[in-house]
Amino acid sequence: MTTRRFALAAVTALAALTLAGCQKSGPEKQAFKGVDLTGAEYARTLNLTDQDGRARSLADFKGKVVVVFFGYTQCPDVCPTTMAEVAEVKRSLGADGEKVQGVFVTIDPERDTGQLLKAYMASFDPSFVALRGSAEQTQAAAKEFKVFYAKVPGKTPETYTMDHTAASFIFDTEGRVRVYARYGSGAQALGDDIKLLLAER
């Protein structure tokens, strides 16, 4: 009786191991390098005016992987580095780069005019879109994305700087926020996550 029980337990354990082995042999879903935001209940809407004065929303970019970044043109480091990395990834993808859209949202509409934003985007990639709104609209957009920003006084009223969240939000081709990419992760990590989203199509 004891022998039979042992044999039955051995067969059951072997079956379980075989089943587990079969389950693991399938393709595993690759993880994002950034923070996975799939299913997040924020960063769902963005309605502002672009550098040419046209009303824009996230729906305008459906079919593309969209990288949204909140910053300002007089930012000395984080903002230009981030936009340069997005441009680098776009170029590295060749033909697939046409499916990547950079979107820059200014947190300094007081100084960032449409003309200035247009020139700023052109310095990275002419296809990039810059968005701006009134102070109230900017606050609402930042709240929707859970983005922090605050004015830091300078030596004169015109020389203030801005503290702000240093990260990008990556949306899939259906317009859903999927990844929170921290500043400093580099173009390679950003590119890997964008490739994963492009592969979902």
Q: What is the pLDDT of residues 85-139, one digit of tens each?
A: 999 999 999 999 999 999 999 999 999 999 999 999 999 999 999 999 999 999 9
The answer to whether the beta carbons of residues 104 and 131 sit under 8 Å apart is yes
The larger pLDDT score, comparing residue 15 to residue 79, is at 79
Residue 133 lies in a domain: yes
Can you tell me the distance from the alpha carbon of 61 to that of 17, in angstroms, rounded to the nearest whole number?
47
Q: What stretch of H or E contains 103?
A: strand 100-106
Task: Take residue 137 and report the two structure tokens written for it.
Answer: 């609209």
193 burial type by CB count under 10 A (0-12 exposed, 13-18 middle, 19+ buried):
buried
Residue 112 lies in a domain: yes
Nearest to 198 by CA among 80, 81, 24, 67: 67
Mean pLDDT of 11-28: 42
Can you tell me the distance from the alpha carbon of 107 to that of 68, in angstroms, rounded to the nearest whole number?
13
Is 62's pLDDT higher than 60? yes
Query: Is 79 one of the annotated binding-site residues?
Result: yes
Confidence of residue 170 (pLDDT cuts 50, 70, 90): very high
Residue 157 lies in a domain: yes
Can you tell me the distance from the alpha carbon of 181 to that of 43, in angstroms, rounded to the nearest whole number?
14
- CATH number assigned to the domain comprising residue 144: 3.40.30.10
Residue 22 lies in a domain: no
Q: What is the pLDDT of residue 179?
A: 98
DSSP letters, 132-181, are E--HHHHHHHHHHHT--EEEE--SSGGG-EEEE--EEEEE-TTS-EEEEE
Residue 172 lies in a domain: yes
Q: What is the pLDDT of residue 84?
A: 98
Residue 188 lies in a domain: yes
Q: What is the pLDDT of residue 28?
A: 56
Instruction: Please give the tally of structural domains in the chain.
Output: 1
Q: What is the pLDDT of residue 112?
A: 98
Query: Is 91 one of the annotated binding-site residues?
Result: no
Question: In which domain, by residue range, is 145 found?
Answer: 35-199
Q: What is the pLDDT of residue 46?
A: 97
Residue 10 lies in a domain: no
The answer to whether the beta carbons of residues 74 and 67 sit under 8 Å apart is no
Residue 193 lies in a domain: yes
Query: Is 20 one of the annotated binding-site residues?
Result: no
Beta-carbon contacts of 86 under 8 Å, excluding residues fewer than 6 positions away, are: 67, 69, 100, 102, 124, 125, 128, 168, 190
